[in-house]
Amino acid sequence: MKKLYIETLGCAMNVRDSEHMIAELNSKEPYELTDDLKDADLIIINTCSVREKPVSKLFSEIGVFNKFKKKDAKIGVTGCTASHLGRDIIKRAPVVDFVLGARNISKITKVIDKRHAVEVDINYDDSSYAFGDYRTNRFKSMVNISMGCDKSCTYCIVPATRGDEVSIPSNLIVTEITKAVKTGAKEVMLLGQNVNNYGKHFSSNSENCNFTELLKKISKIEGLERIRFTSPHPLHMDDEFLKEFFSNPKICKQIHVPLQSGSTSLLKSMKRGYSKEWFLNRCEKIRKLCPEATISTDIIVGFPGESEEDFNDTMDVLEKVRFEQLFSFKYSARPHTTAANFENQISKEVAGSRLTKLQRRHTEILDEIMDAELGKIHEVYFDELKAGGRVSGRSDDGKLFFVDGSEELLGQIKRVEVTKTSRGALEGTLFA
Ligand code: 5AD
Ligand code: SF4
């Protein structure tokens, strides 16, 4: 059997794209996954281009892979960096056999045997393409509900790598989840760049369904117990959607609300479409009507023109919302974005010290949040066997749990009492 080594960088959409590529390859001939590069017949690097660092590392990585790979093994570069650099990847690194953009991964079986094939059309519409079945974890599944992005945030390269937004027909989504449930998945993660913009753009005019309606349809699937989604956009968090989030018992009470900046003037220059007040209002509403919900966020510091006052607005939102999880980044100027040409670029030193300040304060908040978990009881869905007789899973509000246990716990939801806390995870014992 041929062996496949696949490295996946970036976000959950890329993780799902890798699963889709594995499924497509297997539909042609069976591949065994390997962690050993030297053993692989096919090597795929599924790339991310949202920040500069991983992109610059790509070419040195290709060099290393080329040195250690088997003589006839093929190397493919896929994903967002493939979309934006296209044929230049092969010009710079002729050892690469094929380049497949994030919007073109359904063509994987067509390119693997063509030397120097490049497929990077960002307008390619495979929103109705029926990918084969493959998932890394049998107890949960990831399902795309839309592809691409219809926003033009001035810092973001994604519209140039994943193209315009198109929603996947709701009946296909429901069919895919129903199949996953039949094979052991009690939990689904719905994926899209802006999930709560679902239904704005379909390929066919006859489709009509918004995100709240989609959630209602999905929650009718028998045997499905937990629904998660990422990422919603704060701009589209209307009251109808929040009501569904609070009241639907199958929807996990964990929500990602990407802030990016707490300064209204910076948000304007980022073209985010909301103000600091709107963001705070949405989070206050979540905290008030659903106190058990956890809120995570993304923040960029050092965006062009960010003054000390702008940064203080971001710190202020952090104090007020007390996010349970923070993903924070130094601004990175990206090709195909308007912000890359803005004046007032912020020095790396200033951005670095702001990032440190933000992360330090968040760590203090997180320690307080996690310490308060001691003795609490959560419903945990166990989905992974760990070394040393342990099993891991997530609580409804998204916290990572470890308990002593074995295979019998997998696929089950159990009440767990927290016995030990730490920043990243909780330990507990089963609670009768
Ligand atoms: N620089 C830094 N961070 C960025 N992100 C997106 N584009 C950039 C950029 N140019 C961050 C945003 C986004 C997350 C996935 O990556 O916070 O929500
Ligand atoms: Fe995901 Fe964005 Fe990275 Fe593409 S660029 S893999 S969409 S995080």
Measured from the Cα of 334, ligand 1's closest atom is 10
pLDDT at 391 over 90: yes
Rg of the chain, C-alpha, whole Å: 22
Q: What pLDDT shows up at residue 426?
A: 98
How many angstroms separate the alpha carbon of residue 69 from the centre of ligand 2? 27
Residue type for 371, please? D
Separation CA 109–CA 26 (nearest Å): 9
Closest ligand to C-alpha of residue 340 is 1
The pLDDT tens digits for 151-183 are 999 999 999 999 999 999 999 999 999 999 999
Protein residue with least CA distance to atom 17, ligand 1: 298
Q: How far is CA 108 from CA 47, 59, 105, 142, 364, in A?
A: 15, 21, 6, 20, 46
Closest ligand to C-alpha of residue 50 is 2
Q: What pLDDT shows up at residue 432?
A: 76
Q: What is the mean pLDDT of residues 46-63?
A: 92
Backbone angles phi, psi at 259, to 5 degrees: -75, -50
Measured from the Cα of 155, ligand 1's closest atom is 10
The pLDDT tens digits for 8-22 are 999 999 999 999 999
Protein residue with least CA distance to atom 1, ligand 2: 11
How many angstroms separate the alpha carbon of residue 50 from the centre of ligand 2? 6
The pLDDT tens digits for 124-141 are 988 899 999 999 999 999
Q: Which residues line ligand 1 (CB under 6 A)?
A: 50-51, 155-156, 258, 260, 298, 300, 329, 331-332, 334
Q: pTM of the entire structure?
A: 0.97
Confidence of residue 359 (pLDDT cuts 50, 70, 90): very high
pLDDT at 117 over 80: yes
Confidence of residue 269 (pLDDT cuts 50, 70, 90): very high
Asked whether 47 lines ligand 2 (CB < 6 A), one says no
Closest ligand to C-alpha of residue 153 is 1
User: Measured in Å, how far apart are the chain's first and last C-alpha atoms?
Assistant: 46
Q: What pLDDT shows up at residue 147?
A: 95
Residue type for 294, please? T
Q: What pLDDT shows up at residue 56?
A: 80
Q: Are 102 and 125 in contact (CB under 8 A)?
A: no
E strand spans, 51-114: 74-79, 98-101
pLDDT at 55 over 90: no
Angle value at C-alpha 52, between 50 and 54, nearest 5 degrees: 85
Q: What pLDDT shows up at residue 74?
A: 97
Measured from the Cα of 231, ligand 1's closest atom is 18
Q: What pLDDT shows up at residue 53?
A: 85
How many angstroms separate the alpha carbon of residue 410 from the centre of ligand 1? 35
The pLDDT tens digits for 401-413 are 999 999 999 999 9
Q: What pLDDT shows up at residue 126?
A: 85
- With a pLDDT cut of 90, the percent of the chain lying above it is 97
Q: What pLDDT shows up at residue 430?
A: 97
Confidence of residue 342 (pLDDT cuts 50, 70, 90): very high
pLDDT at 205 over 90: no
Mean residue pLDDT across the chain: 97
Listing from the earlier edge strand, what are the strands of the sheet with 140-144? 140-144, 187-191, 226-230
Confidence of residue 54 (pLDDT cuts 50, 70, 90): confident
Q: What pLDDT shows up at residue 51?
A: 93
Protein residue with least CA distance to atom 2, ligand 1: 331
